[in-house]
Amino acid sequence: MAAGIDDIAIYIPRLYIDAADFAKARGLDPEKLQKGLGVSQMAIVDTNQDPACLAANACLQIMQKNKLSPEDIGRLYVSTESSFDESKAMNSYVIGMLEQVYGQGAFEHCGGVETKFACVSGSYALYDNTNWIRAGEAEGKHALVVVSDIAKYDMGSSGEMTQGAGAVVMLLNDEPRLLSFDPKVTATSIKDEYDFYRPFGKETPIVHGQYSNLLYMIQVRKALETYKKKAISSGLMKLEPGETILDHMDYLNMHLPYSNMGKKALAYLVRHEWRQLPRWKKIIQEIGIQEPIPKDPRGTIESVLGDEEFMAKDHEFTKAFTKTREFQEIYEAKLASSLVASKMIGNLYTASLYLGFRSCLEFEYQKGIDLNGKRFGFGSYGSGSSAMVFSGTIQPQYEEIVKNMNLEAELAPRRRLTLDEYETLHENKLSPEESILRTKREFILVDVNTTTESRGERR
């Protein structure tokens, strides 16, 4: 049975901080953000927005657009790493808000949980809900998977350059107009790690930035190895001599904590895949530096990440590889369009992979490319740490959805924050009613009261 993404919608806060303003205030070269990281603007939440409100706004939008009633929805999952309650799941808050529109008890029949595994949890939620549909449990109903996050780091930390906020919701069913997931190839990798984590009570994470970058690439590569075995053994793909698994994916969407990380991760995967090919010797000559080999040639996480000298050389090599003509071609063809939205919005943690997917659809379609039947590969990563690699193909009715996508229009009108305003928001100095923007017909946070049940309201 087919199962996959029928439609996708986003909700992005209307406040943002400009990378140039931010760099000036922190005494950084703006080029470090704009060119080094690929960050131009970062979306920032107002005082009256939390991840549940972002998620509820995205859900309402997709339901109204598709004229769905709560009866049509059988599952509502929220995946986030900005959770604000250790017990009550975020999807229950979202349902509470949606019932202000659809009526008390309208979602009573519906199931779902909040899922957590840093930025990868949305991919696990998609997989589980796809299998709920494939198992025939959905009985004609749809699933909503919402990925919603506020990426917030300590002021003055290196992570502060990679913030952002927003929600992406995906409508899943057995006749998806957009993308049908390839069955029996989803691959995972997991290990107990401390590259990025947020202990109880802390609003911002503890981050080992460069370590997390390399761990991301190693874990996704491991998952890709498993994906390759599954794709070949299930008969989905057959590798001819001189081909790699990446030749069978028209597009690759990577997790995007900042847009250039997608490029780095793609380069890492490509170079490891190409190493077996005859053309690799010529590329090494073009790069002009030797490819570093880890002490343990199997490239175990311990041998790679424990060796500072190797890490530095490996980083330098990947960076040099990104400049080759061969890599530039693959980058432009398979990845570049997915980075456009990330540059304008910033890090969305769980949602950043799916914002990238949506970005790729819109900007490839605008080029006049027929996307029907094209295979998308997804490289999902969550610190802590786990990766998931999976794929799907674009369905014949995709145009119905993609032709109306217009990121610029959906983001506008946006308000550029001054650094003072941003810092006041960052340090939570204002109450919800002191919001910078006056929003209408949106779910907003009215009050945080730990003794009552109230939280979001639609105003």
Q: Which residues bind ligand CAA (CB under 6 A)?
A: 29, 31-32, 35-37, 118-119, 158-159, 161-162, 196, 207, 209-210, 212-213, 216, 255, 257, 261, 319, 347, 349, 381, 383
Q: What residues form DSSP beta bridges with 172? A: 5, 143
Q: Given the complex with ligand CAA, which of 6 and 149 has the nearer CB atom?
A: 149
Tell me how far, at minimum, the Cβ of 176 lies from ligand CAA, in Å. Answer: 27
- Name the E strands within 12-59: 15-18, 41-44
As measured in angstroms, the least distance from the Cβ of 229 to ligand CAA is 25
Q: How far is the CB of 63 from ligand CAA (least distance, A)?
A: 28
* Cβ nearer to ligand CAA, comparing 161 with 304: 161
| Extended strands (E) in 364-418 | 375-382, 386-394, 415-416
Of residues 136 and 156, the one with the C-beta less far from ligand CAA: 156
Q: For the CB of residue 381, give the shortest distance to ligand CAA in the complex, in Å.
A: 6
Token pair, residue 377, equals 């590969």
408, 345, 407, 343: which is closest to 36 by C-alpha?
343
Q: Give the tokens for residue 338.
A: 């997915």
Q: Tell how far CA 403 is from the center of its chain.
A: 22
Of residues 39 and 445, the one with the C-beta less far from ligand CAA:
39
Q: Is 186 strand, coil or helix?
A: coil
CB of 51 to ligand CAA, least distance (A): 14
Q: Answer yes or no: are the C-beta atoms of 23 and 193 closer than 8 Å.
A: no
Report in angstroms how near the CB of residue 287 gets to ligand CAA at its nearest.
Answer: 15
C-alpha span between 147 and 165 (Å, rounded) = 11
When CB distances to ligand CAA are compared, the closest residue is: 36
- Judged by beta carbon, residue 283 or residue 320, the one nearer ligand CAA is 320
Give the residue among 231, 228, 318 at the shortest CA–CA distance from 266. Answer: 318
Indicate the SS3 state at residue 449: coil
Q: Residue 119 or 269: which CB sits closer to ligand CAA?
A: 119
The helix (H) or strand (E) run that includes residue 179 is strand 179-181
CA count, 13 A, side-chain hemisphere, 169: 30
**Residue number, 198 or 375, with CB nearest to ligand CAA:** 198
- The minimum distance between CB 254 and ligand CAA, in angstroms, equals 10
